[in-house]
């Protein structure tokens, strides 16, 4: 009971101080700067809002932030993460939605928590009953110190990525995955029923994701008819041909791409088609 009263008093003081500063027209830099980042992932988006404290010469994990205690994963209000599509976190399903991101740092293992308490200040009123998902990951030690607490997305691909937490000399990587292929294939099938068929984009997807190359080539041929002066279409058609083992056909297409790119003075596709032409000689 006493601890609850103490918490209420602390929150009251913080809110009152903030309101007083606003009333006085005083604007000060925040000790822990807020940041919001958005990452496209799969067919959706991830939006993350958190505050970034600094080390300032202190011992962080096992010091300022005790081991085996719930942490707000930043400073000030609880860190909030929003997924527009369902994802998997370390192989476990998490529905689309908005969650507070809490963690429990440990010497050899961290617990990552997605919780319903998105309106909380810190982790003072954190309730395990509001947990939606918990996963465990292993931290790694960084050679160089990270002064400002950082959350970032790394190794981002169509259907996989890592969310990384870095502070002091600790790095924690959380694996994310999304069910993309089935939805994209369904979208392509539906789009091909329409009047404006996305031949080029669909063929690119087929090439990049190990789908039927014969179909990809057919679609590239159709794309050529739609975009007669597009060196990028030549480039991708040549890539499909080369992947199918048709070096002569790929070389012919690459030369056509170079010719078109030269005509329209597009240095990038002169270079890319030239690289493709060199690959056909190996």
Q: Measured between alpha carbons, how far is 272 from 146 in angstroms, rounded to an integer? A: 38
- pLDDT for residue 10: 46
Please list the residues that pair with 36 across neighbouring strands.
49
What are the structure tokens assigned to 268, written together?
Answer: 């990038």
CA distances to 52, 78, 227 from 100, in Å: 16, 6, 47
With both helix axes pointing from N to C terminus, report the angle between 181-191 and 199-208 in degrees, rounded to the nearest 10: 150
**β-bridge pairing 140-154 and 160-177:** antiparallel
Q: What is the pLDDT of residues 24-71, one digit of tens each?
A: 666 767 778 999 999 999 999 999 999 999 999 999 999 999 999 999
Concatenate the DSSP letters of all residues of 146-208 into one string. Answer: EEEEEEEEES--SSEEEEEEEEEEEEEEEEEE---HHHHHHHHHHHTTSSS--HHHHHHHHHH
pLDDT along the chain (282 residues), means of 10: 47 50 64 93 96 96 95 94 97 97 97 92 89 98 97 96 98 96 94 96 96 98 95 98 98 98 97 98 94
What is the end-to-end Cα distance of the chain in Å, rounded?
Answer: 76
Torsions phi, psi of 132, nearest 5? Answer: -100, -35
Q: Which fold has domain 181-279?
A: 1.25.40
For residue 222, which of 202, 245, 243, 206 has the smallest C-alpha distance?
A: 202
Query: For the chain, what are the domain ranges?
Result: 33-177, 181-279
Handedness of CA 273, 274, 275, 276 (dihedral sign): positive
């Amino acid at each position: 009971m006493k601890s609850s009263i103490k918490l209420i008093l602390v929150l009251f003081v913080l809110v009152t101080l903030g309101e007083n500063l606003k009333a006085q027209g005083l604007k000060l830099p925040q000790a822990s700067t807020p940041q919001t980042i958005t990452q496209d992932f799969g067919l959706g988006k991830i939006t993350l809002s958190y505050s970034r404290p600094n080390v300032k010469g202190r011992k962080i994990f096992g010091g300022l932030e005790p081991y085996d205690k719930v942490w707000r994963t930043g400073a000030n209000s609880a860190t909030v993460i929003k997924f527009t599509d369902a994802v998997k976190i370390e192989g476990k399903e998490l529905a689309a939605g908005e969650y507070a991101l809490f963690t429990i740092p440990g010497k050899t293992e961290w617990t990552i928590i997605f919780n319903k308490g998105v309106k909380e200040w810190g982790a003072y009123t954190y309730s395990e009953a509001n947990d939606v998902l918990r996963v465990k990951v292993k931290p790694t030690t960084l050679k160089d110190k990270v002064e400002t607490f950082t959350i970032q997305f790394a190794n981002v691909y169509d259907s996989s990525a890592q969310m990384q937490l870095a502070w002091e000399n600790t790095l924690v990587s959380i694996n994310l995955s999304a069910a993309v292929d089935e939805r994209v294939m369904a979208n392509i099938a539906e789009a091909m029923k329409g009047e404006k068929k996305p031949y080029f984009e669909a063929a690119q997807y087929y090439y990049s994701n190990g789908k039927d190359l014969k179909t990809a080539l057919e679609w590239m041929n159709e794309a050529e008819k739609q975009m007669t002066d597009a060196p990028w279409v030549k480039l991708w058609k040549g890539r499909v041909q080369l992947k199918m083992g048709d070096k002569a056909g790929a070389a012919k297409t690459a030369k056509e791409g170079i010719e078109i790119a030269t005509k329209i003075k597009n240095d990038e596709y002169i270079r890319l088609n030239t690289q493709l032409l060199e690959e056909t000689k190996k």
